[in-house]
Amino acid sequence: MIIETIVTSVAPDGAINFAPMGVEWSESSLVLKPFLETTTFGNVSGGGAAVVNLTDDVMLFAQAAISSPQFPSFPAEVVRGVVLEAACSWRELEVVGVDDTPPRSRIDTRVVHQGRRREFLGFNRARHAVLEAAILATRTHLIPADEIGQEFAKLQIIVDKTAGPREREAMALLTEHVRGR
């Protein structure tokens, strides 16, 4: 099963990277599959650690999908890394194996610590729609513009019907980004 998360990793110089990523999930081990040219791949494969954050704030997914934001965070407890302050819960990971066969890597990890800050509220339909829009926004170089436009129009209907202010703002951010592409 793939769970959408925000993965945090740390570069050798201490720079923190926040990346939205679907990870293969199980209780004691997770698999990350970043593309080889990404900051996440370099940080995790080189540093041997990452933190996978579960959050119900879709604005963070939207921002991280289209830019390189810095979000509030605090130090992880066991690995060299940080926890997203807006995380409902998180898993601290230690790398146990890296397959760097192009185009995507496979980084096998084991969970060495987990924490919880608050209850995960879950996703209403609008949050799911924004999450799908964020994923589409990362694929503007792979999917024809008219197809992305059609999908965004369908997702916008859901947002219009069920969103709160945060979801509307996130969808507007992604829509503006995609139109600019």
Query: Which CATH code for domain 2-116?
Result: 2.30.110.10
Enter the pTM of the model.
0.91
DSSP string, 1-50: -EEEEEEEEE-TTS-EEEEEEEEEE-SSEEEE--BTTSHHHHHHHHHSEE
Amino acid at 145: A
Residue with tokens 């979801």: 167
Which part of the chain is CATH 1.20.58.290?
A: 125-180
Q: Which of 127, 141, 123 is nearest to 177 (CA)?
A: 141
Domain made up of 125-180: CATH architecture: Up-down Bundle (1.20)
pLDDT single digits (tens) 102-156: 989 999 999 999 999 999 988 899 999 999 999 999 999 999 999 999 999 999 9
Which part of the chain is CATH 2.30.110.10?
A: 2-116
